[in-house]
Structure 1
């Protein structure tokens, strides 16, 4: 049965409290020692209450604790709010009177007028303000990628709603309930916390990585609470699925005037799901050529495979490459197909997936309205890539059956087919008609390898092909680096140094592993010149009094040894690229095709150069 609205998934009492407290501003500054001590004690008490009685009410009390912290600091009376917590939680009526109109949206920590004022600042000034709040990564993004938030209008809300179509009711209700995976350990919880970025935006509860680090030290009961919660999710018995699976939903403007939906899930949910994934995932749950879920090397094995066919030696004599694009892949898959694939290929995840996806989850917009997410998987969910890949697996198996002489490689929803015969795109179209996913024909293509040798291919964040096209690609990237470095001159020098060392110089580092460096030495040298000029500007007393160029050795020397920790692109390009190819071709790509097709393993001549 289709779901007509989000109202059917509201858990009135707990949900209304979570949504109401989500209006309280989040504390982003480092807590004072006294504040931190009070907060830690309150978190331990809330965790112990859940350990004693794992109920939805006790889970809610732990979840909203960061909002109570924000309320106490805002009112200048933290002790009153936290020392007796949770017995003194304000009622919804009291909370409404405590909150000022400027904090009347669940997602924003600033009023619309404040957000408008912030967005009107130059990228440099926005970056400075964000950096002064301690967010290096966000400051860098504000400087080099100032993608604006989509306006909170009825039209944009309708677009976001359209991107989350109505799905089936209770898609995971099956007669069989496979046994769950191995129990979750506290070590898995701590490892999961360590993988979450310190600047990750908080979900509705307000928990952030710094706050979680504060309360999970020295054998804190919060670790035991998180372990128990994750273990109950693993078994499908945890309370509060509606609370933990809800997300904040924002829209980012796209260059084509469209809107990209971004769901910001809860940190506590992410920690639990990461621990479950770490404990129960096995590589044989997916096909050997399915990458993107705990696969070593990231996108690089796929890039290596494509490059071998396009740039040579193409030992398999492929004649065509087909690139497949799926329409709204993560948000559009039917959950019954996800349930079926999980049951078949990854049964140890079935109970956790049922807990997280059997009912629609709520995506909360800036105005407090909500959208029911009842199809596909939530982007940002640690379990999402696995669930998508599992549901895509039958389609890929059918494609492999229909194309017996072809080699397929998929990095999540990016699918490439290398074949000797033309027609793979037509066959893919036929197969996808019976798949839970739709072919985006406008962005899919089939092209002869001989043509790609001349024009190249932009794929997976890099470029594969002839020298001139690779140079043009890298020159565009260098323009971005140059603009970012130029923007540093509009910041105070201390801000500029922090951004240069902590973020800006890393903008093109991934291409050192992915982009063939042959014929690009001068361009990589240009990247180093930009960085050296930035350093000269930072140490100059005035623009007219620039010092001599810094010693390259001191630039690349690690900070702990007295240098700046800015390694040179030109020196690293050849070695990093070839080591990446060697690792991909010798250890990872052999899973995807018969031995002997790639030459690196038997021909590591470059090593001695």
Structure 2
């Protein structure tokens, strides 16, 4: 096998990576590409890397301009309700108070980074610096406390409720309205939800999984119910957020003292009509009144929707003890014996209709294992996508494997954007490190290893290819092994998903188990690598585990030029920096170790390359 001067074989020689520059294709940059690249750079700097990745992978949507068609379509999406029927919360609602430290923590870590501003132009990035001043933080806390207790002037309340509408075209040419909520409304909603989160978990347990990031548990419950009951139906509510009765929501919230911390905030944001406006070039060209349901884009929306529907779902559970229900916001899955599934689904649709939500029969899908099922034949499928996961009548079905592979390969849009658009290398790294890996983690945790191994191997190959582009050269087997370790263990955090795929699914529902198994695997790999390294390589490997040594990989505020960053990566991964065969001025081979130690180079004795690169990064802060 061909080897480098450092003694390790090239990855390509061992079938780890066939072509490290496979993603570097000629691409004629458009104005849209340049805009996206610039916007993504900014989003990465403010640690909104997920939004940057979403921007890069979003399909090109045709711009929506104001038209009679738009007005008519959105008229249908915003049904109206008589505001005179809205109930009022009890006058004796308890006083809500906030600690300024909790407010600062919420703004720093909970408010969405890089989000579009509301009509007042406030954003998280404008609010966050104010929390560093004690007096200003106290003022922010006082404002949020007043909002939580309903002490807001009518004019200000109107502005808090008003929404700037962005309208996108769906693939089916229909319109999708997205509202940009005021950051102050987002902030008070987050604080209010925190106050009732323990009660929400108790109220929604084993039924409503849409609050609290429990989608993986919901998927597993649907799978288990399907195996036990024999048939399952996925029901989708048409325009559910806008269609549900707001009177029903307010009655459910105000009628239970458990939700008293939400009373005044709910009245402030939903207690009267809200204005939803469509703007062109900064001018309001049309507006709709929101009097029904919860406005899309509301942080409080999922919680209020779930509170408004939970009593109906619990009643269905009581009425059909042989059936099982799983809700994820407006998506309701019904599992029942095949002979009674139709009856249960009909009752479910009728109960949701009483709240104002019509079942979208075009999206109804049914799976069943054995025997006839009392559902229309056009609903029956061999495979269905449930909350982003694949479920089939046969749990070993190749249809699930194909689905997982397709979903994994969707990340290729991101990989190509990383290497084809004009990004700085530290931005390329940020997108790869922060955004790419979580996209496949969900698949590994929601599907058995038999369905994920091939997709994980494909994904690992693409990650290695992009890493090679960032470090300007082929990735050796040893370098890839190092890169797979966590940063704190001297690596880069690009763990091999094929290894994780073997145990991720089995860890679902067992808190902390996957973290423990992953850490054990990483510790073993670190020990094995350490044993194979000798002399200078071992010293560099150990030094890379020191606190701060991996900061260029984890801190988005650390910037360096492309050459400096790729050199840093190559040094960290123990890959030769200078071309093979290049000699030092002293005549010796210019290996990494020799360049660090040769006394005949300038600045005798030579400052180590690590120190030079660290200085470059420090100057770039």
Establish whether TM, by shorter chain, passes 0.5.
yes
Which residues of 2 match residues 161-560 of structure 1 at below 5 A? 161-174=75-88, 176-177=90-91, 179-180=93-94, 182-193=96-107, 194-221=109-136, 223-239=137-153, 240-281=156-197, 282-283=199-200, 286-292=203-209, 294-295=211-212, 298-310=214-226, 314=227, 317-345=228-256, 346-348=258-260, 349-367=262-280, 368=284, 369-420=286-337, 421-423=340-342, 424-450=344-370, 455-464=382-391, 465-492=395-422, 494=425, 495-540=427-472, 546=474, 548=476, 551-559=479-487
Deviation of 1:284 after TM superposition, in Å, equals 6.5
1:567 to 465, 482, 495: 495
SS at match of 1:551: helix
Structure 1: stretches of 5+ with no match in the other structure: 1-119, 586-609
CA distance in 1: counterparts of 2:408 and 2:87, whole angstroms: 52
Change (3 A) 1:257 1:549: farther
SS at match of 2:289: strand
Deviations 1:479-505 (A, max 9, x none): 212233233331246243332223233
CA distance in 2: counterparts of 1:255 and 1:550, whole angstroms: 45
> Are the equivalent residues in 2 in contact too, given 1:180–1:350 (CA < 8 A)?
no
Deviation of 1:388 after TM superposition, in Å, equals 0.7
> Are the equivalent residues in 2 in contact too, given 1:188–1:279 (CA < 8 A)?
no
Change (3 A) 1:574 1:450: farther
> Are the equivalent residues in 1 in contact too, given 2:232–2:334 (CA < 8 A)?
yes
Deviation of 1:249 after TM superposition, in Å, equals 0.6
Bigger radius of gyration among the two = 2
CA distance in 1: counterparts of 2:433 and 2:204, whole angstroms: 40
Deviation of 1:121 after TM superposition, in Å, equals 3.3
Deviations 1:510-545 (A, max 9, x none): 22222222253233111101111111233336xxxx
> Are the equivalent residues in 1 in contact too, given 2:89–2:264 (CA < 8 A)?
no
> Are the equivalent residues in 2 in contact too, given 1:321–1:448 (CA < 8 A)?
yes
SS at match of 1:330: helix
SS at match of 2:37: helix
Change (3 A) 1:238 1:171: farther
Deviation of 1:400 after TM superposition, in Å, equals 1.9
CA distance in 1: counterparts of 2:89 and 2:182, whole angstroms: 31
In the comparison of the two structures, how many residue pairs are matched? 455
Deviation of 1:555 after TM superposition, in Å, equals 1.6
Deviations 1:269-303 (A, max 9, x none): 111111111123413673433434653x5112211
TM-score of the pair, normalised by structure 1: 0.69
> Are the equivalent residues in 2 in contact too, given 1:189–1:272 (CA < 8 A)?
no
Structure 2: stretches of 5+ with no match in the other structure: 1-28, 374-379, 514-621
CA distance in 1: counterparts of 2:247 and 2:135, whole angstroms: 40
CA distance in 2: counterparts of 1:547 and 1:566, whole angstroms: 13
SS at match of 2:503: helix
TM-score of the pair, normalised by structure 2: 0.68
Change (3 A) 1:175 1:205: closer
Q: CA RMSD in A?
A: 2.8
1:599 aligned partner = none
Deviation of 1:171 after TM superposition, in Å, equals 4.1
1:21 aligned partner = none
2:54 to 126, 141, 146: 141
Deviation of 1:218 after TM superposition, in Å, equals 4.0
CA distance in 2: counterparts of 1:574 and 1:517, whole angstroms: 6
SS at match of 2:275: strand
CA distance in 2: counterparts of 1:511 and 1:445, whole angstroms: 21
CA distance in 2: counterparts of 1:230 and 1:142, whole angstroms: 31
Change (3 A) 1:425 1:134: closer
Which residues of 2 match residues 7-46 of structure 1 at below 5 A? none
> Are the equivalent residues in 2 in contact too, given 1:425–1:445 (CA < 8 A)?
no
